[in-house]
Amino acid sequence: MTLHRSAGAGARLALDASGGDLAPLSNVEGAKAFVREYPDSTVVLVGDVDQLAPLVGAQGRGIELVHAPERVEMGEHPSQAVRRKRRSSIRRCFELVSEGKADAVVSAGNSGAVMTAALLVLGRLRGVERPAFAALLPSLRSGGRGGGCLLLDAGANTRCRPSQLAQFAVMGDVYARKVMKVASPRVAVLSNGEEAEKGTELTRDALELLRHSGLNLLGYVEGKDIFSGDVDVVVTDGFTGNVVLKTSEGTASAMAGLLRSAVERAGLSEKLGALLLGPTLTGLKKVVDYAEYGGAPLLGFAGVGIVAHGRSSGKAIKNALRVARETGEAGLQGELERAIVESRRWLRPDSAERT
Amino acid sequence: MTLHRSAGAGARLALDASGGDLAPLSNVEGAKAFVREYPDSTVVLVGDVDQLAPLVGAQGRGIELVHAPERVEMGEHPSQAVRRKRRSSIRRCFELVSEGKADAVVSAGNSGAVMTAALLVLGRLRGVERPAFAALLPSLRSGGRGGGCLLLDAGANTRCRPSQLAQFAVMGDVYARKVMKVASPRVAVLSNGEEAEKGTELTRDALELLRHSGLNLLGYVEGKDIFSGDVDVVVTDGFTGNVVLKTSEGTASAMAGLLRSAVERAGLSEKLGALLLGPTLTGLKKVVDYAEYGGAPLLGFAGVGIVAHGRSSGKAIKNALRVARETGEAGLQGELERAIVESRRWLRPDSAERT
């Protein structure tokens, strides 16, 4: 049986205190900031209690500690480490969800480790071939807040089948409706051109399957369309999805860096200009900043999991907790299960793996 | 026999006057601007002479006209149209190169049409499995001028074999040495992570082949590394390359758009700030602007071809002509031929197509 504890008001969120480059300090900081903003919620910090207790200190209202002595280290093979370390913080987090003691998991640890733990402990939602890692990318229209475009798979499954891409579209559509509050999400397959003759065997077959889905299907879109505000859900294989995510991150930080160095080299009037423009430049940075953006949901597991960026600051952790709270609130899991069951009418799993 | 007319001083460049969204006006404008800046060079404008003659007018020094009554229209299937329209401007351009009447071709037309025309008229360099479309992407260090990272294939070959990726690396290395003037180019394969176990069958097999190449091989890089300044040549299949190019373009223009709209909404002090920051903001825009960036070279054909952006302004055309001139100057073709021949020592074409 799948547990559907409702989150939202009174949400209990399990936070992997050992995951992320800045753990456990930023994680504790993020948890504190979150419960200050949402005093009706509880964060269960999962990690080395001896280390965590002094960090949490007296300000601990709304924060509980659960001991997990092991952690997945940076150098380890993530999925092997998760299998071996049965007392690791990330496994314990998902156990809390499966035991009904938490509504959702947030981790800034290695996304491969998070996927493995979710699979081992929660398992997949009934009928889901492959759970996906979804990333919410900013669009011009959304101004980087809410809205944006959901890209999946953003890295969990390097190689995919057409039926898996079609399921990603079904799950993305549900997420866009329930969490992003888009009435009729525009769904598309990522390709190297908009014309039907473009793409690979994978994209063509996925598009063909989706023509029978009843989704609001645009067809193919290109990489630039992701940021245009003209599409809500874009599906692709995890290899390409990872490339999109990293390319976008690289472009944005290169632009921000160039702006910074240009201002440093510039004369007094330009420095004054930068000062006056301060809030706007900060706003721009937010668009590409994971700290503002919160985490990326895992879709297709029998429970809610949110992956935060590995370099998450306290603010990023706080925002990922907020995303977890909203995701739980939306009753996403039940709707995902219904949509996957319903998709069997038009979707038959196929056999050949293609990328 | 392959013709290797040297370009550079006294270069004769064939410009497709009918290619591009703003043709022929921007094309003529770009040609004029180019010959003003490089009075030792000649631009051969290839298109409808009746239409071109009045546009060129009296300022025609350094500009010659060659009549080509047909053009590949936007709605047409590019490669079919090129095959059918034997008197099209893009075919005539490459014929001028094959007849020794021009050193290089510049076109802002559909890149598929340009590839087809190059293949039909010039053919491939001896030993090249698949010519590639290379894109020079800005890096943080280059400041968007020169330098940067060469990405290939950026869209010509949707599906690729490992040996083709390896040849792209060989050709990219030559281009980086001869044109970008990098002494020992750092070459890498694009993947979804830096660890050896990441990637697809294609990327793993390509990397394995390249280990015997003698190139300055970094291994795998991720999408964000393209813009870091830490790598000079990145190889990938044309599907993924197109996605990288379009994602980067989309991210950059979304950021520029957000900045613009934020300044418009802002108060007086921010507007003054934008005014004072003007040159810096313009500099930033240049980084992502094809107009500053010039065109992308086609590598692996028996002649030099440069593809400019479809929305090329006069300035973009001028810069693409400059890239064509520099590319011809560098004696690239002879060196490409030598490198491909030499790569046979470690590279055997394989049979299975993989993406």
Q: Quick: pLDDT tens for B53-111.
A: 999 987 678 999 999 999 888 778 888 999 999 999 999 999 999 999 999 999 999 88
Contact B317, B30 (CB under 8 A): yes
**Residue that has been written with the tokens 């990603």 in this structure:** A168
| One-character DSSP codes across A51-85 | HHHHHHGGG-TTEEEEE--B---TTS-HHHHHHH-
Rounded to whole angstroms, the Cα distance separating A117 from A79 reads 8
Q: How far apart are the first and last CA of chain B?
A: 33
Nearest CB partner across the interface for B280, out of A143, A144, A263: A263
Q: Which of A133, A136, A160, A224 to mutate to test the interface with B (most CBs of B within 10 A)?
A: A224
Look at A3-7, A129-133, B213-217 and tell me which has the smallest mean pLDDT.
Answer: A3-7
pLDDT, tens only, A39-79: 999 999 999 999 999 999 876 789 999 999 998 887 788 88
Question: In chain B, which residue ranges form alpha helices assigned H by DSSP?
Answer: 25-37, 49-56, 78-84, 89-98, 111-121, 162-178, 201-210, 238-265, 268-276, 278-287, 290-293, 314-329, 332-343
Bridge partners for B189 per DSSP: B220, B235
**Is B52:B28 a contact under the CB 8 Å cutoff?**
yes
Q: Out of A126-135, B217-226, B321-330, B345-354, pick the least confident.
A: B345-354
Chain B CB contacts of A248 below 8 Å: 223, 247-248, 250-251
Provide the mean pLDDT of chain B. 87
**Is the CB of residue B239 less than 8 Å away from at least one CB of chain A?**
yes
Taking each continuous run of H as one helix and of E as one strand, the counts in chain B are: 13, 12
Angstrom distance (rounded) from CA A266 to CA B264: 23
Question: Which tokens go with A269?
Answer: 């009037």
- Cβ pair B192:A222 closer than 8 A: no
Instruction: Report pLDDT digits (tens) over B115-133.
Output: 999 999 999 999 999 999 9
Q: What is the SS3 assignment for B163?
A: helix
Pick from A140, A245, A252: CB nearest B257: A140
B250 closest CB neighbour out of A225, A253, A272: A225
HSE (CB half, 13 Å, CA atoms) of A304?
A: 35
DSSP-derived letter for residue B354 is B
Q: Which residues of A touch B197 (CB under 8 A)?
A: 77
Nearest to B312 by CA among B70, B106, B154, B50: B106
Instruction: Give the mutation candidate from B224, B249, B281, B282 for the A interface (greatest A CB count, under 10 A).
Output: B224
What is the strand order of the sheet A296-299 is part of?
Answer: A63-67, A42-47, A12-16, A104-107, A304-307, A296-299, A132-133
C-alpha A211/C-alpha A68 separation (Å) is: 47
Please check whether residue B239 is in contact with residue A242, taking contact to mean a CB–CB distance below 8 angstroms: no
* A284 lies within 8 A of chain B by CB: yes
Q: Closest chain A residue to B260 measured between Cα atoms?
A: A280
Q: With bands split at pLDDT 50, 70 and 90, how would you rate the model's confidence at B255?
A: confident
Q: Facing residues of A188 across strands?
A: A219, A234
Top residue of A277, A286, A292 to mutate, by most chain B CBs within 10 Å, is A277
Q: Both ends of chain A: CA-CA distance in Å?
A: 33
* Residue B233: predicted pLDDT: 98
Provide the CB-side half-sphere exposure for A311 (13 A, CA): 4
Distances (CA, A) of A202 to A245, A353, B192: 20, 9, 18
Cβ-defined contact of B287 to A200 (cutoff 8 Å)? no
CB contact (8 A) between residue A223 and residue B249:
yes
pLDDT tens per residue, range B225-247: 998 889 999 999 999 999 999 99
pTM for this structure?
Answer: 0.89
Q: B131: how many CB neighbours lie within 10 A of its CB? A: 27
Which residue does chain B place closest to A75, by CA atoms?
A: B195
Distance from CA of B49 to the nearest CA of A (A): 32
Query: Which residues, in sequence order, are CB contacts of A257 under 8 Å at separation 6+?
Result: B140
Closest Cα in chain A to B154 = A192
